Amino acid sequence: MRKRLTRVAFYAAVLAMGLYVTSPFLWLIISSFQTEREIVSVPPHWIPQKPTLENYQALFDPPKSDSDRAKLPEQGGFVPASARDLLPSMRNSLLTALVVASINVLFGTLAAYAFARFRFRGRQMLTYAILSLRIVPDVALVIPFFMLIRTAGLLDSPLALVLTYLGATLPFSVFILTGFLQTIPKELDEAAMVDGAGPWQTLWRIILPIASPGLIAAAVFSFMASWNEFLFALIFTETARSITLPVIVATFTSDFNISFSLMNAAGVLAVIPPVVLALFFRRYLVDGLTRGAVKG
C-alpha cells in the first residue's frame, strides 16, 4: 500500500513537471493556428475550433497594399509593415549563425588541440582567462562594440554580427572542445607520430574523426547562441540587410495593433530551428556539456 502511494506521488510529480515544461510552449504553438477572431475568446479555446494557416500565410506573403489587406477576411485587421522584413531576417539569422558556427569549429578546434596536447607556459592561466571572458555581460560589451562598429562603418552589416557573436561563442567552444579532446587517449597521437605524421596530420586524420561529436556540439551550441541573440542585433542592425529574426519578433511584441495569433506564428518560426537542432543533437550537446563543464 505504501509502495503504491509513493508510486502515485511519483507519477503526479512527473506529470506536474511535464505540464510545467510543455504547457506554455504548446499554448504558443496552438494559438498560432487560431484565427484573429478565435484568439480573443474569453475564456480561451484551448483547442482551436477552426485551426488556420492564415497567420503563417500572412507572414510569408504579407499584404502589400490596402486592397490586399481587404482580401484577408479573418486576418484583415493588421499585418505590420515590419512583416515584409521577416523573410530577409530569417535569411540573415541563418547565414550569420552558420558562419559563426563554422568559424567556431575551425578555430576553436585548433585552439582546443593546443590546450589539450601541448604543454606551454601559462596554459592553465590562459584557460581560466578565456573562461572568465564570459563573466563580462553583453550589456557591457555592446557599448564599445557599438563605437567600434560605427567607426568601422559596419552598422547594419551582417559582418558586425558575425564578429560580435564570435566574442559571445568562441570562449565557450574552446572550453568544451578542450574538454572533449582531453578525453581522447594520447596514445593515438603518439602512434601517429611514430608513423611519421606531424601535428597537423595527427589532428586532421586521427583526432577530428574521433572528436566529431564534440565538433557537432560546439557547432550546434554556437549556432543556437547566434540564432537566439537579441541585444547586439537590436543595436547593430536596422534594415533588411542585416536585421535578424529575434529583432523582428521583438518589434511585433511592442506593436499594440498586431493580433497575438500573428505574433505567435512569428514566434513559432523563430523557435523551430533551435528546438529541432537541440532535440536532434541532444546526445552530443549533453555529452559536450558533461565533458566540458562537469568533468572539466
Partner 1 sequence: MALLFLAPALLIMFAVNVYPVLYALWISLHRSDLRRPLSNPFVGLGNFVAVFSESYFVSSLLHTLQFTLLGVALVTAVGLASALILNEKFPLQPVAFAVFLIPWAVPSVVNGLMWKWIYDSQFGSLNGLLYSLGLIDAYQPMLGDPAKAMYLVINAFVWKEVPLAGLLFLTTLKSIPHELYEAAMVDGADALRRFRYITLPSLKPAFLLVLIYNTMQAIRAFDIIYVLTEGGPGDATGNLAWSAYQESFRHLNLGRGSALAYLIAMGTFVIAYWYLKALGREEKENA
Residue whose C-alpha is closest to residue 37's, from 83, 80, 72: 72
Go through 155-175 and write b for each residue having 16 or more CB atoms within 10 A of its CB, e for each that does not.
ebbbebbbbbbbebbbbbbbb
> For residues 126 and 210, which CB has a smaller minimum distance to partner 1 in the complex?
126
CB of 19 to partner 1, least distance (A): 11
- Cα(152)–Cα(127) distance, rounded to whole angstroms? 31
> For residues 63 and 260, which CB has a smaller minimum distance to partner 1 in the complex?
260
- Cα(144)–Cα(292) distance, rounded to whole angstroms? 30
> For residues 15 and 53, which CB has a smaller minimum distance to partner 1 in the complex?
15
> For residues 81 and 139, which CB has a smaller minimum distance to partner 1 in the complex?
139
> For residues 70 and 106, which CB has a smaller minimum distance to partner 1 in the complex?
106
CB of 148 to partner 1, least distance (A): 7
Go through 258-272 and write b for each residue having 16 or more CB atoms within 10 A of its CB, e for each that does not.
bbbbbbbbbbbbbbe
CB of 258 to partner 1, least distance (A): 11
Separation of CA 166 from chain center: 13
Q: Decide if 89 contacts 247 (C-beta within 8 A).
A: yes
CB of 152 to partner 1, least distance (A): 12
- Cα(92)–Cα(221) distance, rounded to whole angstroms? 18
CA angle 27, 228, 40 (to 5 degrees): 25
> For residues 144 and 153, which CB has a smaller minimum distance to partner 1 in the complex?
144
184, burial (CB in 10 Å: exposed 0-12, middle 13-18, buried 19+): middle
CB of 80 to partner 1, least distance (A): 14
> For residues 70 and 148, which CB has a smaller minimum distance to partner 1 in the complex?
148
Tell me how far CA of residue 163 lies from CA of 88, 170, 236, in angstroms.
20, 10, 11
CB of 87 to partner 1, least distance (A): 18
CB of 221 to partner 1, least distance (A): 11
